[in-house]
């Protein structure tokens, strides 16, 4: 059976790996000209995603590439002194297994795990998908596939072609995010330095093996950014406006906006589709159920979703009419929990009052100061569904069951 996967981010390569192990013939089409290996932003893998990575034989590589960020320093706006916390203990309270790694490193590791068995079409994109599996590409010749799977992220092309305009399925959660790449002038190593004010949070981090650093900006806004997705000048203006006069260190980060080699900006939106399959087509990862970038643990969800989708297809012998509903059933509860968790994380990370700003800093300090069990209990009180990442299901699936 021939399967087309659109997108070689996180979900795409994991799906390609498992589908080939189950006996499917897989083609992945990716818009970027090659596998990205330049960093991107930091993402989180929790216990179930780490277990899948171990089964793929790549856990050691991920550990080797982990950012190594273990310490947190929070500067609440207006406070005389920063609050220090042990970040690994905070993640330890949320999950029995956690690694932070740069998104592009993760993509490359998953890609390399199965690239000899998968056909990759880089620098191309799908332009039409027929109900019979006939696919047109921007560059490659048209082909027919038995199944077509959109793993092309929050702004998925496959979803738009098959289900309709993105605005029908997304909900703006009242915040924006931006990522700025800048020189690691302070030699930051193993530390996340956060400045938190009412409705705005900016955090600087490095990664052991990267020569530079990143700032993640998160800020509340009543309405989504009015400019276009490519209007970088106005996007940078919006970031400057949101973070002016927070702290002299943040002012220095903002000065880098004009020099940065890499800048990312988006509204934080959640996808709210109850079903993400239609005919031969289904969606996986952010394309189908993004609970909000940077707030919802979406990378783990993408890894688990890819594993489950491949497994259900194998279990059903490639019969998508049985496999897709089973995949949706396995994932549905966790997608709902991740959406709720994403909203709750956004509320915590973007406090609505000065009291909330102090609460965030003190909560982090307390959780990291407590032994594991009370730390977990406190986190549960502070954030609903705080251990939801570990609750993702990992059924066992047979392998090598599909004949081409």
Q: How far apart are CA 45 and CA 189, in angstroms?
A: 20
Alpha helix (H) residue ranges in 56-95: 59-65, 87-94
* Class of residue 168 by CB neighbours under 10 A (exposed 0-12, middle 13-18, buried 19+): exposed
Only segment of 27-35, 77-85, 325-333, 348-356 that touches ligand FAD (CB under 6 A): 27-35
Q: What are phi and psi of 353, to 5 degrees?
A: -145, 170
* Per-residue binding letters, 255-294, with ligand FAD (x by CB under 6 A): ---------x--------------------xxx-----xx
Q: How far apart are CA 315 and CA 327, in angstroms?
A: 11
> Out of 76, 174, 297, 363, which residue is the one contacting ligand FAD (CB under 6 A)?
297
Tell whether residue 71 is a contact of ligand FAD (CB under 6 A): no
Closest CA to 357 of 246, 254, 255: 246
* Class of residue 33 by CB neighbours under 10 A (exposed 0-12, middle 13-18, buried 19+): exposed
Rg (CA), the chain: 21
The DSSP code for 327 is H
Interacting positions 34-63 with ligand FAD (CB under 6 A): 41-44
**Closer Cβ to ligand FAD, 331 or 358, answer by number:** 331
Q: What are phi and psi of 203, to 5 degrees?
A: -130, 135
Q: Which residue is nearest to ligand FAD (CB)?
A: 9
**Closer Cβ to ligand FAD, 288 or 318, answer by number:** 288
Tell whether residue 6 is a contact of ligand FAD (CB under 6 A): yes
DSSP 11-27: HHHHHHHHHHHTT-EEE
56: which 2 tokens?
Answer: 């793929």
**Residues in contact with 252: Cβ distance below 8 Å, sequence separation at least 6, in sequence order:** none
Tell whether residue 104 is a contact of ligand FAD (CB under 6 A): no
Q: How many residues bind ligand FAD (CB under 6 A)?
A: 33
3-state secondary structure of 92: helix
Tell whether residue 32 is a contact of ligand FAD (CB under 6 A): yes
Please state the closest distance from residue 67 (CB atom) to ligand FAD, in A: 10
**Closer Cβ to ligand FAD, 30 or 312, answer by number:** 30
> Out of 101, 151, 257, 310, which residue is the one contacting ligand FAD (CB under 6 A)?
151
Please state the closest distance from residue 187 (CB atom) to ligand FAD, in A: 23
Closest CA to 59 of 103, 21, 112, 109: 109
Tell whether residue 179 is a contact of ligand FAD (CB under 6 A): yes
Tell whether residue 115 is a contact of ligand FAD (CB under 6 A): no
Tell whether residue 136 is a contact of ligand FAD (CB under 6 A): no
Please state the closest distance from residue 17 (CB atom) to ligand FAD, in A: 13
Closest CA to 401 of 18, 13, 5, 15: 18
Please state the closest distance from residue 167 (CB atom) to ligand FAD, in A: 17
Tell whether residue 8 is a contact of ligand FAD (CB under 6 A): yes
Tell whether residue 197 is a contact of ligand FAD (CB under 6 A): no
The contact set with ligand FAD (CB under 6 A) reads 6-12, 29-32, 41-44, 103, 125, 151-153, 157, 177, 179, 264, 285-287, 293-294, 297-299, 302
């Amino acid at each position: 059976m021939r399967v087309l996967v659109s997108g070689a981010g996180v979900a795409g390569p994991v799906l390609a790996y498992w589908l080939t192990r189950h006996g499917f013939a897989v083609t992945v089409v990716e818009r970027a000209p090659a596998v990205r290996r330049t960093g991107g932003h930091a993402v989180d893998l929790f216990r179930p995603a780490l277990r899948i990575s171990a089964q793929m034989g790549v856990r050691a590589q991920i550990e080797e590439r982990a950012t190594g960020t273990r310490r947190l320093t929070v500067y609440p706006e207006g406070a005389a002194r920063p609050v220090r916390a042990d970040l690994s203990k905070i993640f330890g309270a949320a999950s029995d297994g956690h690694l932070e790694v740069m998104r592009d490193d993760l993509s490359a590791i998953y890609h390399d795990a199965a690239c000899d068995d998968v056909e990759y079409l880089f620098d191309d994109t799908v332009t039409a998908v027929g109900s019979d599996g006939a696919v047109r590409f921007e560059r490659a010749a048209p082909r027919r596939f038995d199944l077509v799977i959109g793993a092309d992220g929050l702004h998925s092309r496959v979803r738009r072609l098959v289900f309709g305009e993105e605005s029908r399925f997304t909900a703006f959660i009242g915040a924006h995010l931006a990522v700025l790449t800048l020189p690691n002038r302070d030699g930051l190593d193993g530390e996340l330095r956060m400045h938190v004010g009412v409705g705005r949070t900016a955090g600087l981090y490095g990664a052991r093996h990267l020569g530079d650093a990143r700032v993640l900006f998160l800020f509340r806004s009543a309405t989504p950014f009015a400019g276009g997705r490519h209007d970088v000048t106005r996007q940078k203006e919006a970031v400057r406006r949101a973070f002016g006069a927070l702290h002299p260190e943040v002012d220095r980060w903002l000065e880098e906006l004009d020099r940065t080699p890499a800048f990312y900006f988006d509204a934080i939106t959640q996808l709210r589709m109850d079903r993400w399959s239609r005919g031969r087509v289904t969606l996986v990862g952010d394309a189908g159920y993004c609970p909000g970038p940077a707030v919802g643990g979406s990378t783990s969800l993408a890894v688990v979703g890819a594993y489950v989708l491949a497994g259900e297809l194998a279990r059903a012998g490639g019969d998508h009419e049985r496999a897709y509903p089973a995949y949706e059933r396995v994932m549905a509860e966790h997608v709902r929990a991740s959406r709720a968790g994403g909203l709750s994380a956004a509320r915590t990370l973007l406090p609505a009052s000065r009291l909330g700003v102090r609460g965030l800093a003190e909560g982090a300090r307390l959780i990291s100061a407590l032994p594991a069990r009370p730390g977990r209990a406190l986190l549960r009180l502070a954030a609903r569904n705080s251990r939801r990442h570990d609750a993702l299901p990992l059924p066992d699936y047979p392998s090598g069951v599909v004949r081409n």
